[in-house]
């Protein structure tokens, strides 16, 4: 245990660590919190790149910094990665999609009852009619999608609208089992028609709680049929 001349290995590392901490405290970093590349740091601090990396590893495990190949080394916590639709759709199933819809859409209906303009609701009523008159399942589903999207528009909350659109993107990417015959069409007594009417009615009467409840029941109906409890 001789540390007179040069620091022994296990102490040298902590020495680099101290140097690094000092650097972080003193150096003025750019706005994005990026610090110099490892090679440069090694040069500035007068130590090996390997030593710098050891020190940075400690700081990273402490949560002080985060690193990424090609990007660099940054101060603070690692930012959350953006949604990757294809990845997300492969880690999800239709039931989880329904649960997400049940979380979002009743609240969207509630907000639409408060924030929606008369023009918003008129458009929505038109879409509900178009749903009834669709001549194929494919056409119906397109209008049904627009129906729910229009409610999100009427809520006038750009964040929730963006979240619903993300959810819809995942929904399209998730493989759904049921492939309906292209020639058939939704029956005249399809439950969604009445569901949609109840939602439109509650919105036009500006009843937030009723609208949210109608939407929740509607989606619950869809989920029940998905799981096989009905339909």
Partner DNA sequence: CACTATAACCAAAACAATATTGGTTGCGAC
Partner DNA sequence: GTCGCAACCAATATTGTTTTGGTTATAGTG
CA neighbor of 53 nearest in space, from 25, 28, 89, 17: 17
The answer to whether residue 24 forms part of the interface with DNA (CB under 7 A) is no
d(CA 231, CA 228): 7
Distance CA 154, CA 127 (A): 13
For DNA, the closer of residues 68 and 183 by Cβ is 68
Question: What mask, x for binding DNA by CB under 7 A, covers residues 3 to 22?
Answer: ------x--x----------
Cα(140)–Cα(88) distance, rounded to whole angstroms?
26
Instruction: Please identify, among the stretches 67-75, 147-155, 168-176, 199-207, the one whose residues bind DNA according to the rule CB under 7 A.
Output: 67-75
The nearer residue to DNA, 24 or 226, going by C-beta atoms, is: 24
**Residue among 12, 102, 134, 226 that touches its own copies (CB under 8 A):** 102
If one counts every other C-beta atom within 10 angstroms of the C-beta of residue 231, the result is 11
Q: How far is the CB of 215 from its own copies (least distance, A)?
A: 12
**Pairwise CA distance, residues 169 & 167, whole Å:** 5
Size of the site for its own copies (CB under 8 A): 33
Q: Which one of residues 23, 169, 191, 225 is an interface residue with its own copies (CB under 8 A)?
A: 169
Using rule CB under 7 A, residue 37 touches DNA = yes
Q: Which listed residue (15, 21, 24, 49) binds DNA by CB under 7 A? A: 49
When binding is defined by CB under 7 A, the residue of 22, 29, 48, 135 that contacts DNA is 48
Does 25 participate in binding its own copies (rule CB under 8 A)? no
Q: Residue 81 or 175: which CB sits closer to DNA?
A: 81
Does the protein bind its own copies through residue 226 (CB under 8 A)? no
User: Which spans of this chain sit near its own copies (rule: CB under 8 A)?
Assistant: 77, 79-83, 85, 88, 91-92, 96-97, 99-100, 102-104, 107-108, 111, 142, 157-160, 162-163, 165-170
Which residues contact DNA (rule: CB under 7 A)? 9, 12, 37-40, 48-51, 53, 56, 67-73
């Amino acid at each position: 245990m001789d540390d007179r001349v040069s620091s022994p290995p296990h102490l040298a590392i902590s020495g680099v660590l101290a140097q690094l901490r000092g650097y972080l405290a003193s150096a003025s970093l750019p706005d994005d919190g990026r610090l110099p590349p490892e090679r440069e740091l090694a040069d500035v601090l007068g130590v090996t790149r390997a030593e710098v990396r050891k020190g940075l590893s400690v700081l990273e495990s402490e949560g002080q910094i985060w690193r990424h190949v090609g990007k660099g080394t940054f101060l603070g916590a690692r930012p959350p990665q953006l949604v990757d639709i294809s990845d997300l759709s492969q880690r999800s199933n239709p039931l989880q999609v329904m649960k997400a819809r049940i979380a979002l859409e009743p609240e969207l209906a509630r907000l639409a009852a408060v924030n929606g303009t008369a023009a918003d609701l008129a458009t929505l009523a038109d879409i509900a009619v178009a749903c009834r008159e669709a001549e194929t399942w494919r056409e119906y589903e397109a209008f049904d999608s627009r129906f729910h999207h229009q409610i999100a528009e009427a809520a006038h909350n750009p964040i929730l609208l963006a979240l619903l659109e993300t959810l819809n993107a995942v929904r399209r990417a998730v493989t759904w089992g049921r492939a309906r015959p292209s020639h058939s069409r939704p029956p005249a007594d399809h439950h969604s028609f009445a569901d949609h009417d109840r939602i439109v009615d509650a919105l036009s009467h500006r009843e937030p709680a009723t609208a949210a409840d109608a939407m929740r029941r509607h989606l619950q109906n869809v989920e029940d049929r998905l799981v096989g409890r009905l339909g």
